[in-house]
Structure 1
Amino acid sequence: MKANVATLGSKKKLSKLKLLLLISMPFILALAALTIGRYPVSLTHLWAALTNGFLLAEVEVPAAVRTVIFDIRIPRIIAAILIGMALSVSGAAFQGTFRNPLVSPDILGVSAGAGFGATLAIINSWGSLGIAASAFGFGLLAVWLTYFLSNRIKNSGEITLIMVLGGILVGTIFTSLVSLIKCVADPYEKLPAITYWLMGSLSSIQMNDVYLVILPMIIGLIPLWLLRWKLNLLAFGDEEAKSLGVNTERLRLIVIFCATLLTASAVAISGMIGWVGLVIPHFARSIAGPNYRNLLPVTILVGGSFLLVVDTLARSLLPMEIPLGILTSLIGAPFFLYLLSHSRRGWK
């Protein structure tokens, strides 16, 4: 077992230069995103606005530029980084917990539950705060139902397989309910809003939305960060992990709860964005290796950077904004195929 752990840690080393590049990447991309868009902002105006005229006291920043920077782009940039981080980390955590490289954050039905909650809020005109709260609550409810069902029907000790099947069942039910609501929704006002939300977008993000989810994201991230070394032990199976004194059932429950918090928080303010939680952990694994001590930090940095790039493209490529779910699918699916075809490492 010791040899296995040593091998896990030595497959890939994260150099200081590579780590420095990864850390600087979100900041560089954020600065670029502040200037790029249908309303371009010059570097001079950007510097003067961010530093309150430091070294450029003679430059007067127009009110429209300040509005674009502080009220529109900064909230979107922060939200994109947080959502990309949350979806990517939860995907990596689920993949390690279920020992399956094809697992994504919505495996237990959280996205389907959140979609139903948001749809219910939209059709009842609960407002943006109500949509986020309803999506978050129903996302957690969906995972609770999955866990409840899996505990009721388990009979052979294969809890992970039963939970996956339970997640598919719960997700199917919530997806069917969403389809039912779409059938009876007002086709001129409610239905377009529901459809657009389900495709994912940050077009209406405000700082209040970020404040709403920052606490549950922190609550979900900190335990995963502290327990990331134990996720390595789950890769070798429950029996070997238990032989080292790890309570696998409790660890799995904690990881699932934290990853669900992250996913529900992200989906609550962004809508349903696919492929991020599936592709980014694989890409991060190609950089840092399978050791979760390195994998989780790299996943955070790469996930936040990826969704920031996608959101910048979504609001810049066309006169109309492209839903994020469309772009992440167009980018993620071919890239995932490339990663699979060029991967030389297994999961054992």
Structure 2
Amino acid sequence: MIIPLILLFFISFLIGRYPVSPNEVIMAIASQLFSINYTLPPAVNTIIFDIRLPRILAAMMVGASLSIAGASFQGLFQNPLVSPDKLGVSAGAGFGAAIAILFSASTFMIQFSAFAWGLMAVGLTYFLGRAFKGTSMLTLVLCGIAVASFFSALLSLIKYVADPYGQLQTIVFWLMGSLAAVNNMDIIIMGIPIIIGTVILLLIRWRINVISMGEEEAQALGVNTRRLQAIIIVCCTIVTASAVSICGIIGWIGLVIPHIARMIVGPDHKVLLPASIILGAFFLLLIDNVARTLTTTEIPLGILTAIIGAPFFLYLLMKSKEVWS
């Protein structure tokens, strides 16, 4: 599974409006890794390291983070229809980005606002879910739906009052998802929480097997379910909010990719989570390559993932019922 991802990583440098030869890509990467003295034309060096490399890394990080968050949530909630945005993180992030765009904030502040409001939305969902006596994971999901609807309404209000000739267009384009504006600083800033959350989920992935059997069974085996649920929700929220703040709202990846990984490696989260990371990175990188080369104008990622993801998910529902059970 890693070999196709490595090949696509290399091929992605060759795709774009400005032609770059395979030899130039190989020598450019080798000169950085092994301190080889090789001089590239300034335009080629800029294209490879300042434009395409950040975009490639961002696509892989976002795809991997959404996929591992989706797989973890599906195990936590014992529901194959759960996606990373089920607790309201995407709706909150969208509202945060819209607020920043409305006040003409910088790109960094838009990303930070999206990240912060995404965390606050999930925090509100978790607080409401725990406020009910005898609460269950289903109650938490229902609270997430309510919170997501609330922030979606606030987002609609922001779009209603935004300038239709500038701010509204920016908000709509951000909500459809794109990696066109990603730079090296974005990779560093948002890559840190994504890596931290992903590593923690990988370290506790065997415990997700236990909690996926049910809360009572997990407690009988000595697992502190309340603490484990909180850790999983926090980690999934951090990686999802970080991904959304980089590229906007991209749907279906966290829902479809874990199903594909489950069909390949089975339901054991010890191998399911790493497989979801690899497949998610491959899928979004492939979609991003199509988005920036299919037409003269770049296609938003959310459109392509929905066009491909929705029919494929229906196919998976028909073919993989016994795989989940």
For residue 301 of structure 1, the aligned residue among 269, 278, 283 is 278
Pairwise CA RMSD = 1.7
Pair 1:207 & 2:215 matched? no
Equivalent residue letter for 1:97 = L
Q: Any residues of structure 2 matched to 1:172-187 within 5 Å, and which?
A: 172-187=149-164
CA distance in structure 1 between the aligned counterparts of 2:39 and 2:238, rounded to whole angstroms: 43
Matched to 2:31, the amino acid is: N
Q: How does 1:241-280 map to 2 (within 5 A)?
A: 241-280=218-257
**Which piece of structure 1 moves more, 276-285 or 35-44?**
35-44
Measured against aligned partners, the alpha-carbon deviations of 1:61-117 in whole angstroms (never above 9, x if no partner) come to 332222111111000000000000100000001100000000000000000000000
- The structure 2 residue matched to 1:198, chosen from 164, 168, 175, is 175
- Residue identity in the other structure for 1:235: S
Q: What amino acid is aligned across from residue 127 of structure 1 in structure 2?
A: S
Question: 2:288·2:301 contact (CA, 8 Å) conserved in 1?
Answer: yes
Aligned residues of 1:37 and 1:316 also touching (Cα < 8 A): yes
Report the TM-score when normalising by structure 2. Answer: 0.96
TM-score calculated relative to the size of structure 1 = 0.90
Q: Deviations 1:164-196 (Å, cap 9, x if unpaired)?
A: 111111111111111111111111111110000
Identical aligned residues as a percent? 53
- Distance change (3 Å), C-alpha of 1:344 and 1:166: closer
Partner of 1:97: 76
Verify the 8 A CA contact 1:92 1:281 in the aligned structure 2: yes
CA contact (8 A) 1:112 1:175 kept: yes
Q: Give, in whole Å, the separation in 1 of the partners of 2:279 and 2:139.
A: 31
Which of these residues, 98, 104, 107, is aligned with residue 86 of structure 2? Answer: 107
| Structure 2 Cα separation of the partners of residues 323 and 231 of structure 1 | 34
Matched, 1:317 2:317: no
Q: Which whole-Å CA distance do the structure 2 matches of 1:258 and 1:52 have between them?
A: 36
CA deviations 1:186-207 (Å, max 9, x no partner) are: 1111111000000000000001
Aligned equivalent of 2:61: 82
Bigger Cα displacement from structure 2, 274-283 vs 330-339:
330-339
1:66 to 38, 41, 45: 45
For 2:32 and 2:49, the matched residues in 1 are separated by 15
**One-letter code of the match for 2:162?**
A
- Rounded Cα–Cα distance in structure 2 between residues aligned with 1:345 and 1:39: 47
Letter in 2 for 1:40: P
One-letter code aligned to 1:277: G
Indicate whether 1:345 and 2:322 are aligned: yes
C-alpha distance 45-233 of structure 1, shift in aligned 2 (>3 A):
same
Distance 1:161 1:211 in 2: 36
Q: Is the 8 A contact 1:53 1:59 kept in 2?
A: no
Which of 1 and 2 has greater Rg? 1
Q: 1:200 to 1:158 in 2, by over 3 A?
A: same
Distance 1:344 1:95, change over 3 A: closer
Aligned partner letter, 2:260: F
Q: What is the alpha-carbon distance in structure 2 between the residues aligned to residue 336 and residue 270 of structure 1?
A: 23
Unmatched runs of 5 consecutive residues or more in structure 2: none
Residue 101 of structure 2 is matched in structure 1 by 122
Deviations 1:284-324 (A, max 9, x none): 00111000011011011111111000111110100000000
CA distance in 2, matches of 1:168, 1:49: 47
Paired residue type of 1:217: I
Q: What is the CA–CA distance in structure 2 between the aligned matches of 1:51 and 1:104, rounded to whole Å? A: 39
Secondary structure class of the residue paired with 2:322: coil
Aligned to 1:221: 198
Aligned residues: 323
CA distance in 2, matches of 1:118, 1:247: 36
2:207 is the counterpart of 1:230: yes
Change (3 A) 1:138 1:344: closer
Query: Structure 1 residues 241, 124: closer, same or farther in 2, change over 3 A?
Result: same
**1:182, 1:231 → 2: CA distance?**
39
Say whether the 8 Å CA contact 1:80–1:307 is kept in structure 2. yes
Uncovered stretches (5+) of structure 1, i.e. residues with no partner: 1-21
